[in-house]
Amino acid sequence: MDPLSNTLALLKPRNYMFHGLDAGGDWSIHFEPRQGIRCYTLLSGHFWLTLGDSSDAVHFKEGDCVLLPSGHGVTLSSNPTLPTVDAKMIFSDVKEGELVTYNGGGDCYGLGGFFEFSGRHASILLGVLPTIVHIRKESDKNTLRRSMEQIMQELREPQPGGTLIAQYLSSLMLVQALRLFLFERAEASTATGSTDADAGWIYALADKQVGAAISAMHETPAHKWTIQSLASRSCMSRSTFAMKFKKLVGESPMDYLTRWRMILAGDRLLNSHDTISVIAPSLGYQSESAFSTAFKRIMQCSPREYRALFQ
């Protein structure tokens, strides 16, 4: 499995919800902070988006698609200076997939969704994404809009198996959005020739050389990887690879590998009956003590404490 698929599988998308909004006149709706990813696609009209307590509003126009991974509260409005109405007053009794008409409707029509995760390490994805992921390419926006419209249809017109289809479609849409975000970053870097980027593994996936090393570590985490062997996978010299990896990912290749192994170990401790004597060698550790030392350094508790604490 590739790194993005690996990570999303560990995050275990648990909950999703989708609604439509047709707003008119002057309106401003505030959604409380919530850990997860919000997504919006605007089918017609325009709106302003304000995150948290920020005084800066971002203007979105017809066709725009956006992901909000930060967990901040968000305000959608026709004018960012208007007083807000709590979203609970509008959406509390609305079924999934339904269209809400607010203030007469007719000026702004969009679809919105929310993804919640049950995995214990959601921060490994959400923590490295920008506060606003704006999908700008026209073909990409069309792809996401079609996915969201299909989800809405499944929820709005229940058919046998519709709930499961909507669940799969929502997971697909999330992966699509993140993949399109990576493609756009890669194209922008190629066009400008710039290597400057925010640090984080998901950004590094857009780089073919460093992305190849990350993919190798995810494919065989138990392998005895070295800086040299990973550099060879990336077709780079050892020193150049180490510097580039640290710049793009924000940590050294060996630190990244250790952290990924411990995340895998944590998932198995909670979701299997495997003992430490089984998990340790499967992740490249020849002794339980070496594995436990690494686990405690990354997870801030021993493997046994982790299993007892979170199961």
pLDDT per residue as tens, the chain (311 positions): 688 888 877 877 777 788 899 999 999 999 999 888 898 989 899 999 999 888 889 999 998 888 898 888 999 999 999 999 999 999 988 888 888 999 999 999 998 888 888 767 777 667 777 788 888 778 888 888 888 888 878 877 778 877 777 777 777 777 888 877 777 766 766 555 555 556 678 778 888 899 999 999 999 999 999 999 999 999 999 999 999 999 989 899 999 999 999 999 999 999 899 999 999 999 999 999 999 999 999 999 999 999 998 87
User: Which class in CATH covers the domain with range 254-310?
Assistant: mainly alpha
Structure confidence at residue 73 (pLDDT): 93
Q: Residue 194's pLDDT is what?
A: 52
Distance CA 153, CA 144 (A): 14
Q: Nearest-CA neighbor of 38 among 148, 119, 140?
A: 148
On the question of a common fold for 201-251 and 254-310, the answer reads yes
Q: What residues does 65 pair with on adjacent strands? A: 41, 135
Residue with tokens 């919640």: 116
pLDDT digits (tens, 9 = 90+) for 181-206: 777 766 766 555 555 556 678 778 88
State residue 246's pLDDT score: 93
Distance CA 132, CA 86 (A): 21
Return the beta strands (E) in 118-273 as ranges: 133-135
DSSP state of 92: T
Residue 257, pLDDT score: 96
CATH, range 3-189: 2.60.120.280
Q: What is the pLDDT of residue 52?
A: 85
Domain ranges of the chain: 3-189, 201-251, 254-310
- Residue with structure tokens 């990409």? 140
What is the fold, at CATH topology level, of the domain defined by 201-251? Arc Repressor Mutant, subunit A (1.10.10)
Structure-derived torsion over alpha carbons of residues 73, 76, 80, 82, reported in degrees to the nearest 10 = -100
pLDDT at 27: 97
